[in-house]
Structure 1
Amino acid sequence: MITIDNLQHPMGSFSLLVGSLRLKPGLTLLVGPNGAGKTTLLELLATVQMPKRGTIMYQHRSSAEDLPLIRSQIGYLPAEIELYEDMTPLKLLAYLSELKGVFRLDRAKGLLHDFRLDDWQKTRISHLSQGIRRRLAIAQALLAAPVFLFLDEPLNGMDSGERKLAISYLNRYAAGRTVIAAVHEMNEWEGAADRVIWLDGGKINFEGRTSLWTADLPHRIWEGTITIEQFKSYPSQGLIVFREVEEGIYVKLVADTPPFSGLTEVSPMLEDAYFVRKYNSLPGVPAGYETDRR
């Protein structure tokens, strides 16, 4: 577990503020708009930056006193990472594992296999696609089998198959470990994530289990097919999803009661719950911080 207390760290025109937070084992999604503080929080957790105020404890150890030990237990993937393009994936992982002091060629080959990179292990990285490079970037963060794994937009540049592979692997890896991934799209993590942290303006709006994230929402969700005239009459800020179909316009929308006949109430997905919570925080709609201490 990671324990954060009274954290304050400047980031541009405002500060990242975390009063008290317990990051438990499992896969946690870190969500929020651009500039909310997601990258700053991950960099602080990964010890890339040190907090100006407050403490971050890793299993009761402080980075101020046990930094080398803590860093040996951390894996980190930034949103943008430069790989050595003249190397092959196998040479890169072997080289990085030596730098980490955990050189094991079988571990490097095992990760290449896990991320389906066997066919490219001896191909220069400069010749690889963005999706393959991103899989390799995740693999390098896992070389030392870290207890704490921090990933900033880990699925960038991947196709749908690669994304499913990475999510499945991270879901399994998170058992007994603390894995935190900053993401933009939540639906693809459905069934894989254990907890959610919602950051906005450097402050936490929500922290808790995914079951709580999708429960007790301030508004209900409806779906069905409506006419084009009905679609044009409904406020755009309340539309979660819409697309043209043969019968009219399929919609999924936010409303306390069904605005049109024929709509059916549906259970929210992770992304739906995020939409509703953001919708509830629009001007004139009260919103408050929620946390799950269980």
Structure 2
Amino acid sequence: MLEMRHIVKTFGKNVTAVDDVSLSLSQGVVGLIGHNGAGKTTLMQMIATLTRPTGGQILFQGVDIVKKPEAIRRRIGYLPQDFGVYPNLSAMEFMQYFAALKHVRDPARIRHLLEMVNLHEQAHRPASTFSGGMRRRLGIAQALLNDPDILIVDEPTAGLDPEERLRFRHLLSELGFRKLVIMSTHIVSDVESMASRLAIMRQGKLIAFETPDGIVQQARGRIWAAQVGNDNYDALRARVHVLHAQRQGGVVNVRIAHPHLPCDGAQPAEPSLEEALMEQRYALNQTPELAA
């Protein structure tokens, strides 16, 4: 469905935001993972044709959208991280406005989408009275107006309460059964429960494209659990990468990322996805050519 070939995006002479990224994506939820400045948002903006790559090709169903952006614009839905609403418009009026912009003339489509995101009972309330979660759901509804093949969402659950986050996860997960959903996030539990594949970026480069289970598998044998005395904890932390520490009385229960036995008494532990991602970052930091 969507193929990226050696995508590069530079700003000015010295800033490379995306550095030779190649990916081939089909239906499902793809989690785009990386620290701030890794290039996630820039990559999504290029897919959405909001900015042009400096080099490379982006193909949608075989058509180069850099040369022919109209080939994808009617087949894409986009929810940016900072999604604003018009405060004087109700949810229904907001949707009607965007429907006109997207040449959607079916009123039933608007009602259906408001029901799908559970806003039908608030359809005539001013958007200015909505919570952050309600605004994000309204943003998803407008992104789906044109029934897109590709849905791009940037940090969709940032700032949401746990109930809103669960509702949002369920909605995106269901959409992934019939569409390509590209989602960037810092919240590992979001991609753990939804994503079929993870695209991990670091300093503009794609360093891994793997299933969540595959990422965990790579970390097995490199995550350890140990119990150390309070007096020995600082010395341990100075020489190994401690992922988690919890004090209980005179001892500290620790989880450690290390390629070998990190200390006496440590036992191999089954990694969580979050621990596996942290171990991967730790391992890259130990590799000079990748950390540079």
Q: Same fold (TM over 0.5)?
A: yes
Contact residue 218 and residue 277 of structure 1 kept, 8 A = no
Alpha-carbon spacing, 1:257–1:83, altered in 2? closer, same or farther (3 Å): same
- Alignment map for 1:122-201 (pairs within 5 Å): 122-201=124-203
Choose 217-226 or 117-126, whichever is displaced more. Answer: 217-226
* Whole-Å separation in 2 of the counterparts to 1:177 and 1:59: 14
Contact residue 280 and residue 286 of structure 1 kept, 8 A = no
Choose 231-240 or 177-186, whichever is displaced more. Answer: 231-240
Code of the aligned partner of 2:2: I
The answer to whether residue 259 in structure 2 is matched with residue 269 in structure 1 is no
Identity of aligned residues (%): 28
SS at match of 1:207: strand
Contact residue 49 and residue 73 of structure 2 kept, 8 A = yes
Code of the aligned partner of 1:259: C
Code of the aligned partner of 2:278: F
Gaps of at least 5 residues in structure 2 are none
- Displacement of 1:259 in angstroms is 2.4
The answer to whether residue 255 in structure 2 is matched with residue 252 in structure 1 is yes
* Whole-Å separation in 2 of the counterparts to 1:78 and 1:87: 20
SS at match of 2:83: coil
TM-score using structure 1 length: 0.88
Contact residue 230 and residue 250 of structure 2 kept, 8 A = no
Gaps of at least 5 residues in structure 1 are 289-294
* Whole-Å separation in 2 of the counterparts to 1:62 and 1:68: 10
Contact residue 38 and residue 203 of structure 2 kept, 8 A = yes
Give the equivalent residue in structure 2 for 1:38.
40
* Whole-Å separation in 2 of the counterparts to 1:182 and 1:29: 6
SS at match of 1:215: helix
* Whole-Å separation in 1 of the counterparts to 2:233 and 2:117: 43
* Whole-Å separation in 2 of the counterparts to 1:164 and 1:250: 30
* Whole-Å separation in 2 of the counterparts to 1:132 and 1:247: 46
- Displacement of 1:280 in angstroms is 0.3
* Whole-Å separation in 2 of the counterparts to 1:267 and 1:234: 21
- Alignment map for 1:226-241 (pairs within 5 Å): 226-235=228-237, 238-241=241-244
Alpha-carbon spacing, 1:207–1:123, altered in 2? closer, same or farther (3 Å): same
Q: CA RMSD in A?
A: 2.4
The answer to whether residue 84 in structure 2 is matched with residue 106 in structure 1 is no
Alpha-carbon spacing, 1:107–1:239, altered in 2? closer, same or farther (3 Å): farther
1:220-278 CA distance string (max 9 Å, x none)? 112365443343332266122233446743432213225253x5433222211110110
Give the equivalent residue in structure 2 for 1:77.
79
- Displacement of 1:93 in angstroms is 1.4
SS at match of 2:89: coil
SS at match of 1:235: helix
TM-score using structure 2 length: 0.88
Give the equivalent residue in structure 1 for 2:15.
14
* Whole-Å separation in 1 of the counterparts to 2:80 and 2:270: 34
- Displacement of 1:205 in angstroms is 0.8
Alpha-carbon spacing, 1:253–1:125, altered in 2? closer, same or farther (3 Å): same
Choose 12-21 or 46-55, whichever is displaced more. Answer: 12-21
Give the equivalent residue in structure 2 for 1:4.
4
Alpha-carbon spacing, 1:222–1:112, altered in 2? closer, same or farther (3 Å): farther
Give the equivalent residue in structure 1 for 2:204.
202
* Whole-Å separation in 1 of the counterparts to 2:204 and 2:108: 41
